Structure 1
Amino acid sequence: MSAEFGPARPDRAEVGMPAVVLVTSSFLPRFGGVEEHTLNVARQLRDRGHRVVVWAVEQGDDDVPRAVDGIPVRYLPCPLPARSGKAMLHFVAALPAAVARWVAAWRADRPDVLHVQCFGPNGVYAWALSRCARTPLVVSSHGETFMDADGAFESSALLRGALRAALRSADAVTACSAFTAAHLVAGYGLPAGRGQVVPNGIDTQEAGGQAPPWLPVSYVLGVGRLVHNKGFDLLIDAFATLDRDDVRLVIGGDGPELGALRAQVDALGLSGQVLLPGRLSRAEVVAVMAGATALVVPSRIEAFGITILEGWRAGIPVVATRRGGPPEFVADGVTGLLVDPEDRGQIANAIATLLDEPALAARLGTAGRTAVRGYTWADVAARYEGIYREVGAGTAVR
């Protein structure tokens, strides 16, 4: 099988830094956690001397970029079989062309490492390709097994099986938090102690834009994709119990729950106190963070919580969920306040405490601004680069 992929690649010592393909479940023009992670890691690896290419799942988007900041981007089809006869016929018809495009991409880019970012259909094809082409495989999990809004892993036995196989055969496995790694151990057969934690990062110097004219003078902020897991309905319920006229609630973001959240606000009689402006640009997120009284991250479960880093960068106090990864890096009462998101009293009390104790709010904000310095994209890329070296030397943790 490997003969189909041409002659062996030259030794890494002859070509310098490993050539890396980041195989991501989603990429621009879409933008979210995995897209941001992949883009920033790609930039950093390029700046460190690696030849980097991004392979992303072809999703039918218009005007997809073929390169970003000089980094080539390929969009590859990833058809998977389904149970219905019609869907299976479609898969059988589409598979040969999909395989041909993946093989052509490998031949064109000749990666030393295939690095899956957020395992989905992209991971299935990258795992199969790594086996056939004998190319080292690194799998990085971002909580997709328990945070996917569409429940892909719950509904697809093929996806679950492919992830288990990939975790067994991968040359290295990383997770954005120890909580996420433990989930792979418990549910997907990752050997205990094998996964390495590589947290998310942030651009500590990201520029902001003008504050939107609709912003209130004083407001508590929530930001993220509006899906059930993010818990913004819990935040609205908690805010309703505060009964205060000196502060508003702003929840920025778009997603399938936007209509339901607006209906919830109307039902609670909070239409003048809770603002749901929809999607915010990156520059608007920075600006809105900078002016907030506090940030609340009320997720029912969270793999990491990159929004926390954004709050820290802005120097504002953060109230974060204690379910999932945040307790691993947020020190309760020191760099933030941790709450059970299902307990609206805890959320409301945390918000009220920050409003009524400005000295505490300022202390938490200052501590967060210091803590965020340890979460740069350069730090993330350096950790990955160390893993690539281990993979190349045959010393990765297996």
Structure 2
Amino acid sequence: MGSPLHTVHGVLSLDVGGLERLVLGLVRHGVQAGHRVSVVCVEAPGQLAAEAAGAAVVSLDKPPGRQQAFVARAAETLSRLRPDVVHTHQIGAAWYLGPAARSLGIPVVHTEHGNHFARLGSRLAALKARLVFRSAARSVDRFCCVSDEIAAAVTRWRTVPRGKVLVVPNGIPLDPGPGLPDPAAVRASLGIPADAPVVGTVGRLVEVKRQDLLIRAVARLRAGFPGVHLVLVGDGPERGRLEAVAREAGLADQTHFLGYHPRPEAVLGIMTAFALTSRSEGFPVSLLEAWRAGVPVASAAVGGIPAVVSDGVSGLLFPPGDDAAAAAALARLLGDPALAGRVGRAGRQTFEANYTLDRMAATYEELYREREAAPRAG
């Protein structure tokens, strides 16, 4: 290990989400390793800012929309912090902090956590996105992606040269930490019988996550598993609509909207199966959390998921947008405890071998030191 570094992580905010929890993991790991760590939030600190223990959190308070003047504010902030390296997350943060860092001769490592190009609805939107990416990427010394699928997208759209791109898979702590509640007590607190099968998911309640499809899939399961319950950990603008979907599906009494939970692993312990029904994903942190907990996973085959989930081994994959296929995959796990056990164990083994926070943080520290040692732009 070299001398301590001062790293600034740049994000739009530390609002609740997988990306933000991943950044907090890097922040805590850096602090525990003896480094100085700061976080610059372009828009607002967000709900998770208080969890960045040991790190300074600064907000630029940028209003919505692109505001070029905030590049200067970002430069002023970085000039005060004097970091060795800036690590931006998502292109929106790099748009401001990248040029600011470059103007001060500070190297920039960037991570792209999602495939924005998969969600663009028109040619004009695609053109604008490409221009934004190209502009922001010019200030980046090393461009990282959390999956091969995202790396292929940014190079296919000619936003970043392939030689500048490195795939760094997500990682979370090997141990979720002490103090997890007894699963039986969690079930009892939710009014879920001890022997009831539980399907669950973790994620923001937003349209791209397609929790409405999951609700309909679980409604289909009641024919074979009448006592099944659905647990959704997370909150967001879709909550009201999703509650209505659950009522329409006749599943209101068996669907539990838990809102934001600071420790999702406390709820993962009651799940018989974990489901992801998104229409677009990068490399979801919630998948790793389910694997770490040994919960068998059924997931839509989207984004970077098929590259990391071995279908039938470490998870069951189904076509995106198909609630019948999702229900069929979940029914296999609920109806075959031996299969569920094998899939859960394989997921845990896959996680331990490839996707720990220590492994991810070590890769990023190598990049920080590589960038720190490289000649800086004036």
Instruction: Give the TM-score normalised by structure 2.
Output: 0.86
State the one-letter code of the partner of 2:61.
Answer: P
Is contact 1:200-1:375 (8 Å) kept?
yes
State the one-letter code of the partner of 1:190.
Answer: V
Whether 1:140 and 2:89 are equivalent positions in the alignment is: no
Whether 1:247 and 2:228 are equivalent positions in the alignment is: yes
Whether 1:256 and 2:240 are equivalent positions in the alignment is: no
Q: What residue in structure 1 maps to residue 192 of structure 2?
A: 216
Q: What residue in structure 2 maps to residue 36 of structure 1?
A: 21
Correspondence list, 1:54-65, <5 A: 54-59=39-44, 65=50
Q: What residue in structure 2 maps to residue 202 of structure 1?
A: 172
Q: Distance in 1 between matches of 2:150 and 2:369?
A: 24
Q: Distance in 1 between matches of 2:128 and 2:106?
A: 22
The count of corresponding residues between Structure 1 and Structure 2 is: 362
Is contact 2:26-2:357 (8 Å) kept?
yes
Pick closer, same or farther for the CA change 1:64–1:328 going to 2, 3 Å.
closer
Q: Return the offset for 1:358.
A: 0.8
Q: Return the offset for 1:117.
A: 1.3
Q: What residue in structure 1 maps to residue 322 of structure 2?
A: 343
Deviates more, 1:129-138 or 1:53-62: 53-62
Q: Distance in 2 between matches of 1:110 and 1:166?
A: 21
Q: What residue in structure 1 maps to residue 35 of structure 2?
A: 50
Whether 1:21 and 2:8 are equivalent positions in the alignment is: yes
Whether 1:271 and 2:243 are equivalent positions in the alignment is: no
Q: Return the offset for 1:326.
A: 1.0
State the one-letter code of the partner of 1:196.
Answer: L
Instruction: Please give the secondary structure, in 2, of the residue aligned with 1:69.
Output: coil
CA deviations over 1:220-272 (Å, ceiling 9, x no partner): 11221111111211112222222231322222221111111111122222223
Deviates more, 1:233-242 or 1:134-143: 233-242
Q: Return the offset for 1:64.
A: 5.8
Q: What residue in structure 2 maps to residue 281 of structure 1?
A: 261
Is contact 1:312-1:372 (8 Å) kept?
yes
Whether 1:321 and 2:293 are equivalent positions in the alignment is: no
Equivalent of residue 237 in structure 1, options 195, 212, 216: 216
Q: What residue in structure 2 maps to residue 75 of structure 1?
A: 59
State the one-letter code of the partner of 1:116.
Answer: T
Whether 1:104 and 2:51 are equivalent positions in the alignment is: no
Q: Return the offset for 1:42.
A: 1.5
Question: What is the root-mean-square deviation of aligned Cα atoms in Å?
Answer: 2.9
State the one-letter code of the partner of 1:388.
Answer: Y
Q: Distance in 2 between matches of 1:345 and 1:63?
A: 36
* Structure 1 unpaired stretches of 5+: 1-12, 83-90
Instruction: Please give the secondary structure, in 1, of the residue aligned with 2:253.
Output: coil
Is contact 1:23-1:56 (8 Å) kept?
yes
Instruction: Please give the secondary structure, in 2, of the residue aligned with 1:52.
Output: strand
State the one-letter code of the partner of 1:143.
Answer: G
Instruction: Please give the secondary structure, in 1, of the residue aligned with 2:250.
Output: coil
State the one-letter code of the partner of 2:247.
Answer: D
Pick closer, same or farther for the CA change 1:135–1:238 going to 2, 3 Å.
same
Deviates more, 1:225-234 or 1:263-272: 263-272
Is contact 1:234-1:341 (8 Å) kept?
no
Q: Distance in 1 between matches of 2:65 and 2:322?
A: 41
State the one-letter code of the partner of 2:7.
Answer: V
Q: Distance in 2 between matches of 1:61 and 1:343?
A: 34
Q: Percent identity?
A: 36
Q: Distance in 2 between matches of 1:357 and 1:171?
A: 49
Pick closer, same or farther for the CA change 1:384–1:61 going to 2, 3 Å.
closer
Q: Distance in 1 between matches of 2:83 and 2:110?
A: 15
Q: Distance in 1 between matches of 2:6 and 2:258?
A: 39
Correspondence list, 1:369-388, <5 A: 369-373=348-352, 374-388=354-368
Q: Return the offset for 1:343.
A: 2.0
Deviates more, 1:110-119 or 1:240-249: 240-249
Correspondence list, 1:136-175, <5 A: 136-143=107-114, 145-146=116-117, 160-175=130-145
Instruction: Please give the secondary structure, in 1, of the residue aligned with 2:252.
Output: coil
Q: Distance in 2 between matches of 1:314 and 1:63?
A: 23
Q: Distance in 2 between matches of 1:81 and 1:271?
A: 38
Instruction: Please give the secondary structure, in 2, of the residue aligned with 1:25.
Output: strand
Q: Return the offset for 1:77.
A: 3.3
Q: Return the offset for 1:162.
A: 3.5
Is contact 1:220-1:292 (8 Å) kept?
yes
Whether 1:359 and 2:359 are equivalent positions in the alignment is: no
Q: Distance in 1 between matches of 2:78 and 2:138?
A: 22
Is contact 1:147-1:303 (8 Å) kept?
no
Pick closer, same or farther for the CA change 1:68–1:251 going to 2, 3 Å.
closer
Instruction: Please give the secondary structure, in 2, of the residue aligned with 1:282.
Output: coil
Whether 1:305 and 2:284 are equivalent positions in the alignment is: yes
* Structure 2 unpaired stretches of 5+: none
Pick closer, same or farther for the CA change 1:215–1:203 going to 2, 3 Å.
farther
Q: Return the offset for 1:349.
A: 1.1
Is contact 1:26-1:34 (8 Å) kept?
no
Is contact 1:168-1:189 (8 Å) kept?
no
Q: What residue in structure 2 maps to residue 392 of structure 1?
A: 372
Is contact 1:139-1:170 (8 Å) kept?
yes
Equivalent of residue 87 in structure 2, options 106, 111, 115: 115
Q: Return the offset for 1:167.
A: 2.0
Is contact 1:206-1:286 (8 Å) kept?
yes
